[in-house]
Amino acid sequence: MAASDVGTVQERGTALPILITRVAICIFAVSQTMLSPLITQIGAAFGLGLGGSGFLFTAYYISNIFFCLVTGRIIAVIGKRTAMKAGLIFYALVTFAFAHTHSFAIACVFISCMGALATFIEAVGMDLVDDMSPVDAASNLTMTHGIAGIGMVGGVVYSGLMLNAGYDWRTIYTMMSVAVGAVAVVFCVVRFPKMHQSAAGGLAELKHWFTRRELYPTYLALFLYVGAEGAVTGWMATFMTTTLGYSSLLASLGTAAIWTVVTVGRIVCAGLVGTRYTVRALVSFLCTVCVIGVLLTAGVTMPILFWVALLLVGAGLSALWPLIASTALDAGNNGGTVMSLILFFGYFGAAVIPYLIGLIGDAAGLRMALIASAIVFAALGLVVRFVMPRSVSEKRTQG
């Protein structure tokens, strides 16, 4: 059989499994963004202000900090497809439980489990797609990231539409749990091809890359970026409703606009073969765009300028994560272990910074909270420009 014929057979045999896996990855993306329009309503249900409500962001991401380090080992022990089945089933169960709890402490436990399982689904799903795409893996993974971006947009739009239709947050999460359960059933039914077993990885290797001092500035940059991104996108819908007086639907669409530009920007950047610009120059430029965009959202009074500012924020965010993460991946010869650390420091930032921004919003208003987020982006630009080693930050970008 010719090579092209083999490729055709592979594509026919994996098209449906890849599709359902990508749908599962969308669940991870929806989970990350649907909380933003609901955060104040959930907090109010437990009698909390912005600071207390903001702890839900911390609870969602805190377990991810540690879970992303053991995901590879879990996959190696039970297998990828079994891991995805378990992840989807447990995600459906804890989402349903979160929607029906009346204790804030227990709600934090359940949403923490949701965050960990969403990350688990993302990691396993990316691994599955990679294994099932031997002919054109890079293209397939790029498309998978694009679909995840669609899920990011879909999460805030879903919450906004449901709120606008009069549903409360409990119903919204209950319906989400039913949808995930349906995906889990389909995933269990679809026949998957045989796939190779993953290497388990070890703590010694993880410790080795954790202690590489030349990577510390990159880890710090990831902490600042993911935290600032979570703060801006997480609190933007609340800012639009409570401070600017927008409806919950328009506020959700505002956050969706940011994620739409981020998604398009990342796909465009993924298609670039190479440029004359260095990582340091590009990250500095994008951080500047973020600072300007966030400050404008906090300060402008004309609606048209505000919406332009939202698009600027999305444009600035678009390529920051892949550019910064690539500097760590280029320095390591074990992508899986280094990627775990990339996720570790990113989720650490996501667990800490949005909560702190919420406290600032509680004490001084959400305009000041957004200004504080802009300061974090400015700090990120300074870290990349002056702290990150020149051998890393002056690396030429490549697609």
Give the pLDDT band of residue 391 (cuts 50, 70, 90).
low
User: Which one, of 308, 299, 285, lies nearest residue 377 by Cα?
Assistant: 285
DSSP secondary structure code for residue 303 in this structure:
H
The lowest-confidence range among 57-71, 279-293, 356-370 is 57-71
- The confidence score (pLDDT) of residue 66 equals 76
Six-digit token string for 357:
């921004």
CB 377 within 8 A of CB 287: yes
Contact between residue 349 and residue 222 where contact means Cβ atoms under 8 Å apart: yes
Q: Tell which phi-psi region holds residue 47, choosing left (phi > 0), alpha (psi between -120 and 50) or beta.
A: left
Residue 93's pLDDT is 96
pLDDT band, very low/low/confident/very high, at 138 (cuts 50, 70, 90):
very low
Highest mean pLDDT, choosing among 42-51, 59-68, 89-98, 388-397: 89-98
Q: Taking the CA of residue 305 as centre, how many other CA atoms within 13 Å lie in the half-sphere pointing to its CB?
A: 10
Position 62 scores a pLDDT of 86
pLDDT score, position 23: 86
The CA distance from 5 to 259, in Å, is 39
**Do the Cβ atoms of 28 and 117 come closer than 8 Å?**
no
Q: Has residue 194 got a pLDDT over 90?
A: no
Task: Tell if the pTM clears 0.85, that is, is over it.
Answer: no
Which conformational region is residue 334 in: left (phi greater than 0), alpha (psi within -120 to 50 degrees), or beta? beta
- Per-residue confidence (pLDDT) for residue 4, from 0 to 100: 41
Amino acid at 360: I
| pLDDT higher than threshold 90 for residue 368 | yes
* Amino acid, single-letter form, for residue 165: A
Instruction: Pick 78 or 261 by higher pLDDT.
Output: 261
More confident residue, 209 or 275: 209
Q: What DSSP element (H or E) covers 398?
A: strand 396-398
Name the residue with higher pLDDT: 367 or 384: 367
Q: How far apart are CA 352 and CA 227, in angstroms?
A: 7
Neighbours of 316 (CB within 10 A): 26
Secondary-structure breakdown of the chain: helix, strand, coil percentages, each rounded to the nearest 5: 85, 0, 15
Give percent above pLDDT 70 in the chain. 81
Neighbours of 297 (CB within 10 A): 28
pLDDT the model gives residue 7: 41
